[in-house]
Amino acid sequence: MMQSTASQLPHPKECRRLRRSQSLTQTQVAVTLGVSLEEVRDWENGLTEPHGRRRRAYARLLAEWAAHERTEGSARDWTTTRPLTPHQAFDGLYRFCAPALVRQAYLLTGRTALAREAVERAFQLAWQRWPEVALDRDPPSWVRAAAHDWALSPWHRFRLRHRRCDAPADPADRALLDALLTLSPIHRRTLVLHDGAGLGLAETAAETEASTAAAAARLQRARETLSDLVPDQAAPEVLPDRMADLAMSVRLRAARPPAVRSVGERKARRGNRMAVVFTAALVGATALTLNMATDHYERPVPEGTAVIDLPPQVAMGPLSAQQQRLRLLLKKQAHKGPARLVPQAR
């Protein structure tokens, strides 16, 4: 019995790509179709195929996803025919990259608030340097590198609000997240870029500023560590899907593009004001120093030395009666002697 064209299924890889384009997990698809999670995994890995009513429902769901993707693509093509303003270009880049970057940042940090903060800081920096980012060969890679750098900054360990990990409810997802957080930051970033973001080995090496051999060694080391901690989830054909499910298991929502732009502009203005105030204070301090400083050399006053072995100076006391009579006599008599000794009244 031949199957109808309406129930034709695409390749398992295409099924997985369509599901990811809608930001859905395998668990959500299983709930929508009323099947188990293991069946959906087998369908997307090509191990089994649905039959009967399940096949028709799955094919109809895939067709809806494909139609939605074509509609978005045509709308995007129509909007790109017109020249975009910087605000429109930034908003388009944000809507295209932010949802995936938030999930990647969560895999790197295990904290929802820090993941949102890293993505928003990266786009604020991109808006401040928009001419540079707009002319970059790959703007999404520029923003992704900035977001990952902020998410893995070692200074976050001193922030009390980001010390608590936001673990998912599912035990398997929680075990995978704990295993990811045991990796070193560079191994975790390499694994998320290659298996989480789907980059090639050369692109992963370029983004982590390492050689291809070093990136391959880091990736192999990270996979071996996960194989020891969560062997049922670390297989190369299963790990990308499990990481995607983990990233979608928590509520992650980035801010709207206008809010990110406005916050970035406020921070830029605040930074400019602080720079102006600091420059004015520095100029004032320099001018005050130049005004108060001496403009010539002043010899230091030497310290005095004590003179010893001299009798103390004795103050004269009152005149005696004989001395007073002699004094009066001298005042009454005229001076006889050289003219130079006689005082002249003038």
Q: What is the DSSP string of 208-253?
A: TT--HHHHHHHHHHHHHHHHHH-TTT--TTTHHHHHHHHHHSS---
Indicate the pLDDT class of residue 5, thresholds 50, 70 and 90: very low
Lowest mean pLDDT among 117-121, 165-169, 222-226, 230-234: 165-169
**Average pLDDT, stretch 106-130?**
90
**Average pLDDT, stretch 5-26?**
77
Q: Are 44 and 50 in contact, with CB atoms under 8 Å apart? A: no
Residue 281: what pLDDT?
92
Which ranges in 81-111 belong to alpha helices (H)? 86-109
pLDDT higher than 50, residue 85:
yes
Indicate the pLDDT class of residue 76, thresholds 50, 70 and 90: low
pLDDT higher than 50, residue 78:
no
pLDDT higher than 80, residue 149:
yes
Residue 90: what pLDDT?
87
Class of the CATH domain delimited by 1-82: mainly alpha
Which residues contact residue 48 at a Cβ distance below 8 angstroms, ignoring those fewer than 6 apart? 39, 42
Q: Identify the CA nearest to 160 among candidates 127, 120, 111.
A: 111
| 191 CB burial (10 A radius; 0-12, 13-18, 19+) | buried
Percent of the chain's residues with pLDDT above 90: 20
Highest mean pLDDT among 273-277, 317-321, 335-339: 273-277
**Average pLDDT, stretch 153-169?**
73
Angle at 170 between CA 166 and CA 175, to 5 degrees: 70
pLDDT, the chain, mean: 82
Residue 157: what pLDDT?
75
| Residue intervals in the chain for CATH 1.10.260.40 | 1-82
**Average pLDDT, stretch 264-280?**
86
Q: Which two tokens stand for residue 175?
A: 């075990």
Indicate the pLDDT class of residue 3, thresholds 50, 70 and 90: very low
pLDDT higher than 60, residue 163:
yes
pLDDT higher than 90, residue 298:
no
Residue with more model confidence, 142 or 315: 142
DSSP code of 162? G
**Amino acid making up residue 112:** T
**Average pLDDT, stretch 122-134?**
89
Residue 2: what pLDDT?
44
Q: Are 201 and 216 in contact, with CB atoms under 8 Å apart? A: yes
Residue 170: what pLDDT?
83
pLDDT higher than 80, residue 20:
no
Residue with more model confidence, 147 or 343: 147
- Return phi, psi of residue 9, to 5°: -105, 140
Indicate the pLDDT class of residue 191, thresholds 50, 70 and 90: very high
Q: Are 12 and 46 in contact, with CB atoms under 8 Å apart? A: yes
**Average pLDDT, stretch 316-326?**
84
Residue 7: what pLDDT?
66
**Average pLDDT, stretch 5-34?**
77
DSSP code of 346? -
